[in-house]
Structure 1
């Protein structure tokens, strides 16, 4: 995200001062305290809780769809539909995921599945990723019903399971493949955007995720007949694997730009001093400028935003302390730049690994994200409403170097935007790590922004 000069501190928000905030908090707390770790807890239970609230708000049974599969009964989700007044325009989909990353009680200061307010923060697993947005979207749909708001375009809510796990049942993927009519929309509002605060809690910037990389794992394998360790030979599976991994480490995929990343770096170049700012401008003019690349790539986030990246994450080798290794394997995790392919990345990795090491793409092969356009019908309201809620805070488009469930909607030609609103600390609030937290004021301010944004785009 862009590192900009600190701006005015946010206005303090008195949490739960309004009746609608109190109602939101009960929904949010219930959702956070429902364990939805895949294989441990139950997304299905969380979806059922949301369904109960939707029906209490006035949604008929026909507008609320709970779904799961027989082989994954605890990995269910929910889709809710609020019909619009104008069937000639496309629907809007509000997307979130119910599942969270595992959290061990013995590693956390507090119980990860009990919402604790402390020093102006809410602590618990999922307070940010992604139960903050999931709760806001569910709360938005409830408020629409309670206010008897009739949107011009149909508004859909999909809260799914499996986003945080590679091999588990994935609700977004399942919906796109098996129930596309439930989620089909003109565009999607998703996680991935956000705001950044400095160490003093002052707002720095808002980012809109417009595109993302695709995550893909590859297995490197070297094999050998082995033998007694007292008589080593030059052919050694561990050494051959090590050479292949070092080749991956030394290789830099070429720099590429999308409309989003070009706009992001153009804005960043204006905000950063020398040598980084001028180096970014040189790269925008000439992506092959190696000296400029070396300067910009000192920042690991910028380095990843410029190109496909591949890195070794797991290694396993040998079968005995006193035997030459018969097999050595490594997992290489790649984040593939939009427009590139899994097959093309595989070909390059095979070239780097050489003839003695085999390289295969691991299943499942996730789809490559389709970069959405910088559509003024979407970007305009995002910026206009941000100016109302967060005056003088710049809004910049960015490409996520990670991956979300948004990749699964490319097959339906549905552009996905990671919307801003909720500001995070500079350390990313412990997301996927220990003691995940969200600033209380940031949560309630973000809720107000996202509600206004959804209502505006629905109208």
Structure 2
């Protein structure tokens, strides 16, 4: 296979970015300057080909970069193509290859950020440079954005820029970023390419049980720890009802048709098992969920505490905010107080937007039998922050991978890796999307 200059540069940039340790611990005391070093790397590469860049650093070490390439149609809404430059922490002893070495073994590129998401950052950087060097004028203005702090909620990245520098996204109507674009197997050596047209909302609930404090040697009937434990177990065993959103309905329709096996059974959970390793992610997009994550009670073994609490990570489908609160209150019972915080609403973009036709055409050019399939992402991306400016977000980082390669499983995992051929494929497809959108 002949590798183009675009593909070569994309891979080189992905490797260079992986080698910049930009771990985001979420704790300002332990976060270094890696995000700024990565942003400066991107800024310099963009400046080399004549871009005017905006380096935004609201806190030392937490920099983002934004640049714009004018399009040929001034009336067309601008398209934001964005990636984040931070990565989650690593336990190096769990890795077979150095997490910041960007080593290639057996056709796989290893490193923290190989999938989440320095792969796309490297592709976008190479494409931005190629368009400028080759005089390619896209139809729409392209806004290339490389954000800090996505892994901790975008506080110093996309959220801060949306709140304080919204002019950088003037005229933008749509955005493309993670999580989607990678292939899932279909019968007959064909592939479906997921596009996230919706994302669950994120909220936090704190359960509090109260009783009266007592000596540990004298058990009480209203032990707060016991009552809280019962509530936590009830939540762990509870299944929220199936909700068919516009996005999940489109997934069932398109994937069912493409696979030749319509989802028309009485038990959707069973039907989804045929998706293999993707079943849990797609399934999580069909229900609201609540996961107990933090328990707090007592401080001394011989003291029964007067209160005990549990924190829940609650993921909410579009339009389901009030229903989730009511259902959760019913599950835990009247004697458990529920407090809600950190409410980030769900987003849902049109599943029939012209941009999806562009995605399909770009995939078809590289994989004639490939089918783009909308799905609902049960997690969050920076598209939620851009949505506050009326920008409709889509998750699509195109990667053609082997049928048994679980891209979902690479996120935040040890030995995170991506096939080198998939990076080349992603660069080619994304270039077509950005040129033709």
- TM-score for both structures, normalised by structure 2: 0.89
Q: Which stretch of structure 1 is more off in the superposition, 73-82 or 262-271?
A: 262-271
User: 2:203, 2:280 → 1: CA distance?
Assistant: 19
From 432, 446, 456, give the equivalent of 2:412: 432
Partner of 1:205: 192
1:35 lines up with 2:21 in the alignment: yes
User: 2:90, 2:242 → 1: CA distance?
Assistant: 37
Partner of 1:352: 331
Q: 1:204 to 1:297 in 2, by over 3 A?
A: closer
Find the residue that maps to 2:100 and give its secondary structure. Answer: coil
Unpaired runs of 5+ residues, structure 2, are 25-30, 274-278
User: 1:271, 1:150 → 2: CA distance?
Assistant: 34
Aligned counterparts, 1:445-456, within 5 A: 445-456=425-436
Find the residue that maps to 1:96 and give its secondary structure. Answer: strand
Alignment deviations for residues 238-278 of structure 1 (CA, whole Å, 9 cap, x no partner): 111112123323433332222221111123444679xxx67
Partner of 1:226: 213
Superposition deviation, residue 176 in structure 1: 1.6
Partner of 1:309: 289
User: 2:272, 2:309 → 1: CA distance?
Assistant: 29
Q: 1:428 to 1:372 in 2, by over 3 A?
A: closer
Alignment deviations for residues 97-143 of structure 1 (CA, whole Å, 9 cap, x no partner): 11111112222222211110001100000011011111111211111
Q: 1:153 to 1:394 in 2, by over 3 A?
A: closer
1:179 lines up with 2:171 in the alignment: no
Superposition deviation, residue 415 in structure 1: 0.8
1:26 lines up with 2:12 in the alignment: yes
Find the residue that maps to 1:454 and give its secondary structure. Answer: helix
User: 1:118, 1:427 → 2: CA distance?
Assistant: 17
Superposition deviation, residue 95 in structure 1: 1.3
Q: 1:393 to 1:214 in 2, by over 3 A?
A: same
Find the residue that maps to 2:146 and give its secondary structure. Answer: strand
- TM-score for both structures, normalised by structure 1: 0.85
Partner of 2:40: 48
**8 Å CA contact retained: 2:250, 2:351:** no
Q: 1:77 to 1:111 in 2, by over 3 A?
A: same
Partner of 1:217: 204
User: 1:108, 1:326 → 2: CA distance?
Assistant: 44
**8 Å CA contact retained: 1:207, 1:420:** no
1:154 lines up with 2:141 in the alignment: yes
Alignment deviations for residues 353-372 of structure 1 (CA, whole Å, 9 cap, x no partner): 2233222223x332x13311
Partner of 1:286: none
Alignment deviations for residues 369-391 of structure 1 (CA, whole Å, 9 cap, x no partner): 33111234211111122111012
Q: 1:101 to 1:229 in 2, by over 3 A?
A: same
Residues matched between the structures, number? 420
Partner of 2:55: 66
User: 1:99, 1:377 → 2: CA distance?
Assistant: 31
Alignment deviations for residues 216-247 of structure 1 (CA, whole Å, 9 cap, x no partner): 22221223332122210111111111121233
Unpaired runs of 5+ residues, structure 1, are 1-12, 283-290
Find the residue that maps to 2:145 and give its secondary structure. Answer: strand
Q: Which stretch of structure 1 is more off in the superposition, 111-120 or 410-419?
A: 410-419
**8 Å CA contact retained: 2:87, 2:116:** yes
User: 1:416, 1:109 → 2: CA distance?
Assistant: 35
User: 1:154, 1:229 → 2: CA distance?
Assistant: 67
**8 Å CA contact retained: 2:201, 2:343:** no
CA RMSD of aligned residues (A): 2.3
From 362, 366, 369, give the equivalent of 1:389: 366
User: 2:268, 2:140 → 1: CA distance?
Assistant: 45
Q: 1:268 to 1:145 in 2, by over 3 A?
A: closer
User: 2:152, 2:72 → 1: CA distance?
Assistant: 38
Q: Which stretch of structure 1 is more off in the superposition, 257-266 or 435-444?
A: 257-266
From 281, 301, 312, give the equivalent of 2:264: 281
Q: 1:369 to 1:138 in 2, by over 3 A?
A: farther
Q: Which stretch of structure 1 is more off in the superposition, 181-190 or 434-443?
A: 181-190
Superposition deviation, residue 438 in structure 1: 0.3
Superposition deviation, residue 171 in structure 1: 1.1
1:139 lines up with 2:113 in the alignment: no
